[in-house]
Amino acid sequence: MADNLVLTDDTVGTLTLGGDLTVRRFGFGAMRITGRGIWGEPPDRDEAIRVLRRAVELGVNFMDTADSYGPEVSERLIAEALHPYPKGLVIATKGGLLRPGPGEWTPCGSPTHLRRACEGSLRRMQLDRIPLYQLHSPDPNVPFAESVGALAQLREEGKIAHVGVSNVTVDQLREAQGIVPIVSVQNRYNLSDRHSEDVLEACESDGLGFLPWFPLATGQLTKGGGPLAKVAKAHKATPAQVALAWLLRRSPVMLPIPGTSKVKHLEENVAAAQIRLDDDEFEVLSELATAA
């Protein structure tokens, strides 16, 4: 990919979180730079470092990670690859999930755990304050208000600048907003899975960033040479690239964070920001998504 496709404020647009974190509307999700099952070290550590550095070269200035990715591996690699961090790079991380083993995720939203998780992230990433710290998931065994309250306390202490929530309903978002200012929501959302449509609409109404995880998924929409395949062919793009372009057009508060462990795939993802869907293409894809 030619470097004239580097992300700029004009080509991809910007989003301001919490009034002071202005980022381009195309980030990088650092989950997949770890080992199989999001567990352990990556099979090619040098390539993982190259991916992180190449993302910054391509104009990405928002990275999302979590202490549970590895666990701890993703955060350490970010620090190894990028510290001291370039001016303007916003690193968001998350706490609230334990990892019993590869592919296993267990909610843990106790205030004690969240404080320990946040302080561990600060150390690993060599940060004095985390720009955006997110509750990774509500814990059914801990009152939601207690988990959010722990992040509010960390914010008051200056350990985190802004608070986000992830994997929440609209009701949970509203409850969190009653405790501490929330600047972003990270929920599963993609071309073929729009179950969080109401949460996205709430974010639009309140001017909150919406970070769709699993953004490249197209489900069954690629089969049969249907409309998605036709749009992709018209743009000389892959279905996954079109899925990203659709997300970017879907909402001005959308901040996709596609992740990968390969530089080539990273460059393909970033190239999707150059795709401009016309009105008819966007509507056809939106109807597909609604029916999926």
Entry pTM:
0.96
Candidates 207, 156, 240, 217; CA nearest to 21 is 207
- How many other C-beta atoms lie within 10 A of the C-beta of residue 10? 8
Give the whole-angstrom CA distance, residue 47 versus residue 66. 20
Catalytic residue, from 69, 85, 133, 189: name it.
69
> Does residue 146 sit within a domain?
yes
Structure tokens at 117: 């998780």
Question: What domain range is 114 assigned to?
Answer: 3-216+253-260
Give me the pLDDT at residue 176, please.
99
Kindly report the average pLDDT of the chain as a whole number.
95
**Are the C-beta atoms of 160 and 151 separated by less than 8 Å?**
yes
Give the whole-angstrom CA distance, residue 2 versus residue 36. 30
- How many other C-beta atoms lie within 10 A of the C-beta of residue 210? 25
Please write the tens of the pLDDT for every residue from 38-56. Answer: 999 999 999 999 999 999 9
Number of structural domains found in the chain: 1
- Degrees, nearest 5: CA angle 165-168-174: 80
> Does residue 234 sit within a domain?
no
> Does residue 164 sit within a domain?
yes
> Does residue 8 sit within a domain?
yes
Q: pLDDT band for position 5 (50/70/90)? A: confident
Q: pLDDT band for position 221 (50/70/90)? A: confident
> Does residue 178 sit within a domain?
yes
Candidates 230, 232, 172, 224; CA nearest to 202 is 172
Please write the tens of the pLDDT for every residue from 105-131. Answer: 999 999 999 999 999 999 999 999 999
Strand partners, 291: none
Is 69 in the active site? yes
Give me the pLDDT at residue 2, please.
46
The CATH number of the domain holding residue 155 is 3.20.20.100
Q: pLDDT band for position 217 (50/70/90)? A: confident
> Does residue 248 sit within a domain?
no
> Does residue 229 sit within a domain?
no
> Does residue 180 sit within a domain?
yes
- The torsion angles phi and psi of 225, rounded to 5 degrees, stand at 60, 35
SS3 annotation, the chain: CCHHHCCCHHHHCEEEECCCEEEECCCEECCCCCCCCCECCCCCHHHHHHHHHHHHHCCCCEEECCCCCECCHHHHHHHHHHCCCCCCCEEEEEECEECCCCCCCEECCCHHHHHHHHHHHHHHHCCCCEEEEEECCCCCCCCHHHHHHHHHHHHHCCCEEEEEEECCCHHHHHHHHCCCCEEEEEEECECCECCCHHHHHHHHHHCCEEEEECCCCCCCCCHHHCHHHHHHHHCCCCHHHHHHHHHHHHCCCECCCCCCCCHHHHHHHHHHHHCCCCHHHHHHHHHHHHHC
Structure tokens at 45: 């550590």
Give me the pLDDT at residue 1, please.
39
- Degrees, nearest 5: CA angle 139-141-142: 70
pLDDT at 97 over 60: yes
Please enumerate in sequence order all residues whose Cβ is within 8 A of that of 156, keeping only pairs 6 or more positions apart, or say none.
none
